[in-house]
Amino acid sequence: MVRTSHPGADSALLQALTLVSRAAGEARRVTAVIPYMGYARQDRQFLAGELVTMRHVGRLLRCAGASRVVVVDIHSGEALRCLRGGRNVSAVPALAAHVIKMGLRDPVAVSPDAGGARRAAHFAREAGCGLLVLGKKRDRRTGRVSVSADARDMAGRDAVIVDDMISTGGSVAAAARLLRGAGCRRVHAACTHALLVGGARTAMRRAGVSSIIGANTVPGPASVVDVSGAIAGAIAP
């Protein structure tokens, strides 16, 4: 069963549950492939009273009859643990291969925060380029983002901001402004899930982002990198 969670995460989950339930009535095992898991950022309680939605999503999928769940670049290890044996497929090799073909000048993979450092380092290894990790602070109540880093060596180079998903584009825009201010020639954004809600694309362009590259885990004009082969490899017996 293949069903991504964007757009409309609530309705997509309901469709996935009904399809899994129907398939479980006929099949020995059911694998639910959810390339973009829409609730993955709700993997812990940040503010008092918040629900940890991912725990309930995992339970619902198991109760519906899913033997295992395959996702692509889920937001965190904690979210993956909610799926109990779920398989996480990396889109980084495919994204890096696409960026290599762009012919960038002395490129550097940039993580917008410390939490994404491992992903950006993986990208840097695949692309054979440098690595820079930014410091990020986000106000949980207002959503306002600020970034900082020692970017003195970025002048004249091309930067690729690497993230698992881009939603409103606030983190990428803040990173792009810092990088452009440090003298970067061009700034590109590469992510697995290019949600680009609201005015995200406009905000990033205004901040100096030259291009936005995403995988085809969600529909959209930026979703140009095919990861179907990686998913197929994960579900093959």
The tens-digit pLDDT sequence of the chain (237 residues) is 999 999 999 999 999 999 999 999 999 999 999 999 999 987 777 777 778 899 999 999 999 999 999 999 999 999 999 999 999 999 999 999 999 999 999 999 999 998 899 999 999 999 999 999 998 666 656 566 666 567 778 999 999 999 999 999 999 999 999 999 999 999 999 999 999 999 999 999 999 999 999 999 999 999 999 999 999 999 987
- Is position 137 annotated as part of the catalytic site? no
Write down the pTM of the prediction. 0.90
CA dihedral sign, ordered 24, 28, 29, 32: negative
Domain boundaries, the chain: 9-89, 92-225
DSSP state of 21: H
Angle at 107 between CA 101 and CA 110, to 5 degrees: 115
CATH 2.60.40.10 fits 9-89, yes or no: no
Catalytic residue among 75, 122, 136, 180: 136
CATH 3.40.50.2020 fits 92-225, yes or no: yes
- Please indicate whether the domains covering 9-89 and 92-225 agree at the CATH topology level: yes
**Tokens at 185, concatenated:** 């020639």
**Tokens at 171, concatenated:** 């983190």
